[in-house]
A and B are shown apart, each in its own frame.
Chain A
Amino acid sequence: DGGITQSPKYLFRKEGQNVTLSCEQNLNHDAMYWYRQDPGQGLRLIYYSQIVNDFQKGDIAEGYSVSREKKESFPLTVTSAQKNPTAFYLCASSSSTSLWSYEQYFGPGTRLTVT
């Protein structure tokens, strides 16, 4: 089955540690996205990548980093510089073909708790 996988589903870290969230897709999509979701704030874009080896900052990129070495993979690192890292993180992907590039497919999410 085609889809997006995120692992792990729940992640716990101590303050001051970097942590990397995994996102893999087998939909052959060119574009991938990372969102952060907090209660009452909807989804906020952290980073996105339209093509391998290229990525762009979203609205709240500070304290996060990404890489896009393979088409299928777009890992997100939450660094110790991120002041409020506890949140639900969602990865998404979309194709690059015209109108269909606007339709995004989402993974199941990773809930990160930092104490």
Chain B
Amino acid sequence: AQSVTQLDSQVPVFEEAPVELRCNYSSSVSVYLFWYVQYPNQGLQLLLKYLSGSTLVESINGFEAEFNKSQTSFHLRKPSVHISDTAEYFCAVGKTGANNLFFGTGTRLTVIP
């Protein structure tokens, strides 16, 4: 069964427009949620994470995500995107009792000038 679903494989958006990248997960146990960003031919960099506490988490470059337990979602948002945000974004879930992260299939964000 799919643990993490990223509904959009590609999201084109104009520069300075808002964007939302969707992530839903399936789990019956406590989860820990992550968004990673990958630039071409590079490894993954942690963008933001939810481990506990406030359900709204923010990154240093203007992205935010909100853990919604009832919707089992952790959507990533940014109010105004830049050209430099063009990259692939991966949602990942850690589950209590599991030894590894479960990754979504990724969303390629393309910012159009």
Contacts and interface: CB of A to CB of B under 8 A. Distances in A.
How would you classify the secondary structure of chain A's contact residues: helix, strand, loop or mixed? strand
Contacts, number: 55
A102 B94 contact: yes
B42 A108 contact: yes
B43 A106 contact: yes
Interface of A: 4, 6, 9, 31, 33, 35, 40-43, 45, 48, 50, 56, 58, 88, 90, 92, 99-100, 102-109, 111
B14 interface: no
A62 to B, nearest CB: 17
Given A33-B100, A48-B100, A104-B101, A40 B9 contact: yes
Interface of B: 9, 32, 34, 36, 41-46, 49, 51-52, 90, 92, 94, 99-101, 103-106
A103 B100 CA distance: 9
15 contacts: A6-B43, A31-B99, A40-B106, A42-B90, A48-B100, A56-B99, A100-B51, A102-B32, A102-B101, A106-B44, A107-B43, A108-B42, A109-B41, A109-B43, A111-B41
Contacts of B101: 102, 104
Contacts of B100: 33, 45, 48, 58
B51 A42 contact: no
Contacts of A58: 100
A103 B46 contact: yes
